[in-house]
C-alpha cells in the first residue's frame, strides 16, 4: 500500500526491526482522503480505512490484527503494550513494546512521526511529536520508557518521518518563543521571514539530547509534497503512518 520506505537495522545476534513511513498513494479511499488514508477518526469510510490497513499489513508481511494504534492527544503519555488491542490505546502519544510481531503505529498529517529501535535489547517505540508534544518532551519520555525495558540510547536508532518543515509551519511569535524556550532548535522562520517552528529539527535535537545519536531523517515536507497528507495545507484530509515492528 502506498510508497513504504523500509529500514531494517538487523544483524547477527540481534532482532530484525522493520520501520516504515507510508505516503498517501495506493489505497482505496476517495477524496479528500485519497487514497491511502489510514486514520479512522477523520471521517473516511471505515471499510476503506480497513482495506488500506490490510494492504499495509500485507506489504509488511504481518497480520492485519497485529497493529496497535493510538488515540493521540498531543501530550507526553507513553504506554507499554505486549499484545494487539481491539481499539486505539486511549490518551497516549507513544507506544513501547518488546513483543515480536507487534506493529506499533503513529498517525500523522503534519506532525512528526518518530520511530525508535534498540535491536540488541529487542525494544521498539513509536511516537507522535506535534507542537505540544515536543514542548511536553514526548521524545524524552519515550526514550526513558525504552530504557526501563533494557534499551540503551547508544544502541538505539531513531527515524524522523515526513512532517511539515520549518519554512512552512508559520506560527505566532509568542508560540514560537514558548516552544523554543523548551527546545531552542524549534525556532525557525518562513521564507518571507515570519515566525515559524521547525518540529523535525526540534525532534532531532531532543533525540540527541537523550543520547540517541543514530538518527535518520526523512526530510520530506508534508505541506510541499502532494504525495503526503497535510492538514495545514488541505484541512479535511487523511493520515499517513509510521510503523515499527520487531521481527
- pLDDT tens figures, 166-182: 999 999 999 999 999 99
Question: Helix, strand, coil proportions of the chain in percent (round to 5)?
Answer: 25, 25, 45
Question: Residue 13: which pLDDT band, with cuts at 50, 70 and 90?
Answer: low
- The domain locations on the chain are 5-246
Helices (H), 160-198: 173-182
pTM: 0.94
| CATH fold label, 5-246 | 3.60.140
So what's the pLDDT on residue 1?
52
Question: Residue 82: which pLDDT band, with cuts at 50, 70 and 90?
Answer: very high
The answer to whether residue 4 scores a pLDDT higher than 60 is no
Helices (H), the chain: 46-60, 131-135, 138-148, 173-182, 199-209, 231-234
The length of the chain is 247
Tell me the helices (H) and strands (E) count for the chain, helix number first.
6, 15
The answer to whether residue 11 scores a pLDDT higher than 60 is no
Amino acid at each position: 500500500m502506498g510508497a513504504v520506505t523500509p529500514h531494517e537495522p538487523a544483524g547477527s545476534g540481534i532482532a530484525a526491526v522493520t520501520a516504515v513511513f507510508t505516503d498517501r498513494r495506493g489505497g482505496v479511499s476517495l477524496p479528500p482522503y485519497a487514497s491511502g488514508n489510514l486514520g479512522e477518526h477523520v471521517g473516511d469510510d471505515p471499510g476503506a480505512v480497513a482495506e488500506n490497513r490490510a494492504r499495509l499489513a500485507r506489504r509488511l508481511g504481518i497480520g492485519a490484527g497485529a497493529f496497535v494504534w493510538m488515540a493521540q492527544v498531543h501530550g507526553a503519555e507513553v504506554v507499554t503494550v505486549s499484545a494487539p488491542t481491539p481499539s486505539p490505546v486511549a490518551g497516549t502519544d507513544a507506544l513501547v513494546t518488546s513483543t515480536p510481531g507487534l506493529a506499533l503505529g503513529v498517525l500523522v498529517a503534519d506532525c512528526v512521526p518518530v520511530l525508535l529501535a534498540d535491536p540488541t535489547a529487542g525494544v521498539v517505540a513509536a511516537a507522535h511529536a506535534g507542537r505540544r508534544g515536543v514542548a511536553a518532551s514526548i521524545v524524552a519520555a519515550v526514550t526513558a520508557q525504552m530504557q526501563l525495558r533494557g534499551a540503551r540510547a547508544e544502541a538505539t536508532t531513531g527515524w524522523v518521518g515526513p512532517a511539515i518543515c520549518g519554512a512552512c509551519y508559520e506560527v505566532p511569535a509568542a508560540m514560537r518563543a514558548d516552544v523554543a524556550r523548551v527546545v531552542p532548535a524549534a525556532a525557525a522562520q518562513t521564507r518571507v521571514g515570519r515566525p515559524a517552528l521547525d518540529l523535525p529539527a526540534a525532534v532531532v535535537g531532543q533525540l540527541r539530547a537523550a543520547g540517541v545519536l543514530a538518527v535518520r531523517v526523512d526530510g520530506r515536507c508534508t505541506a510541499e509534497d502532494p504525495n503526503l497528507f497535510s492538514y495545514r495545507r488541505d484541512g479535511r484530509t487523511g493520515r499517513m503512518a509510521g510503523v515499527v515492528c520487531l521481527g
